[in-house]
C-alpha cells in the first residue's frame, strides 16, 4: 500500500524529482571539477616536491578558472560586442543616431575586443615558434661556441720577467 502511494507521489511530482536529480548531478560534477583544479583525492599530485602555498589558493583558483574557460570567455565577449552593435543600430531609423550609437559601442568595447584578438594572435605565434624549435633533449645546444683567442704579451715584456725592460 505504501509503495503505491510513493509511486503516485512520483507520478504527480515528476518534474520536481527530475529537477532534484539534475541538481544532485550538477553538484557532483562541480565537486569533481573542483577536485581536479585543487588536486584533491585521486587527482592529488604524487610528487613530494609539490607544495601548495595556502596564501595563493584563491589566486591559483582564479588563474586555473580563467585558463580553463579563456576561449569560452573570449567567445562570449565577442558575441556580446556584436550583439550590442546590432542592437544599437536597430534602435532608431535616423542615420546620425545610428552612427552615434555605433561610436558609443565601439569606443566602449573596441579596446577589449582588440586585446582579445591581439592575445590570440600572440598566443598562436608563440605556439608556432615553440613547435619550430628543435628538441633540446639530446643534450646538444643551439648556442654557438665562442672562439678563444690568445692575446700575445706586449713587446718588450717577457712572460717570465715580472718587470718590463727599460
> pLDDT digit string (tens) for 10-31?
888 888 888 889 989 999 999 8
Q: Is residue 14 part of a domain?
A: yes
Q: Are residues 38 and 81 in the same domain?
A: no
Distance in angstroms (rounded) separating the CA atoms of residues 147 and 67: 45
CA distances from 9 to 5, 72, 121, 141 (A): 6, 41, 57, 74
Do 35 and 73 lie in one domain? The reply is: no
Task: Report the C-alpha gap between 67 and 119 in whole angstroms.
Answer: 13
Entry pTM: 0.37
> Does residue 83 fall inside a structural domain?
yes
pLDDT digits (tens, 9 = 90+) for 51-106: 555 556 777 777 777 777 777 777 888 888 888 888 888 888 888 888 888 888 88
Q: Which of 52, 55, 36, 32 is nearest to 44 (CA)?
A: 36
Residue in 79, 80, 81, 99 with CA at minimum distance from that of residue 89: 99
The H-assigned helical ranges of 13-94 are 14-38, 57-90
Name the grid cell of 23: 541538481
**Whole domain around residue 112: which residue ranges?**
69-130
d(CA 68, CA 74): 12
Residue 16 lies inside a defined structural domain of this protein: yes
User: Residues 77, 123: one domain?
Assistant: yes
The answer to whether position 98 is within a domain reads yes
Extract the C-alpha cell encoding 88: 544599437
Q: Is the dihedral of CA 84, 88, 90, 91 positive or negative?
A: positive
- Span 110-133, pLDDT tens digits: 888 888 778 777 777 777 777 777
Q: At what angle do helices 57-90 and 95-132 cross, to 10 degrees?
A: 140
39 and 1 in one domain? yes
Considering the domain architecture, whether residues 126 and 75 belong to the same structural domain is answered as: yes
Tell me what pLDDT residue 49 has.
42
Give how many domains the chain has, as a whole number: 2
The CA distance from 126 to 96, in Å, is 43
Residue 113 resides in a domain? yes
Looking at the fold, whether 114 and 74 belong to one and the same domain comes out as yes
Amino acid at each position: 500500500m505504501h509503495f503505491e502511494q510513493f509511486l503516485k507521489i512520483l507520478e504527480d511530482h515528476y518534474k520536481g524529482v527530475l529537477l532534484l536529480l539534475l541538481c544532485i548531478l550538477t553538484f557532483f560534477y562541480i565537486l569533481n571539477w573542483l577536485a581536479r583544479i585543487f588536486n584533491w583525492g585521486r587527482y592529488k599530485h604524487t610528487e613530494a616536491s609539490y607544495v601548495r602555498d595556502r596564501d595563493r589558493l584563491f589566486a591559483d583558483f582564479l588563474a586555473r578558472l580563467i585558463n580553463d574557460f579563456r576561449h569560452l570567455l573570449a567567445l562570449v565577449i565577442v558575441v556580446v560586442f556584436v550583439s550590442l552593435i546590432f542592437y544599437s543600430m536597430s534602435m532608431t531609423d535616423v542615420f546620425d543616431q545610428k552612427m552615434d550609437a555605433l561610436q558609443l559601442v565601439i569606443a566602449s568595447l573596441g579596446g577589449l575586443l582588440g586585446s582579445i584578438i591581439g592575445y590570440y594572435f600572440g598566443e598562436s605565434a608563440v605556439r608556432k615558434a615553440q613547435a619550430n624549435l628543435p628538441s633540446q633533449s639530446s643534450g646538444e645546444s643551439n648556442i654557438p661556441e665562442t672562439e678563444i683567442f690568445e692575446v700575445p704579451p706586449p713587446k718588450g715584456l717577457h712572460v717570465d720577467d715580472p718587470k718590463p725592460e727599460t
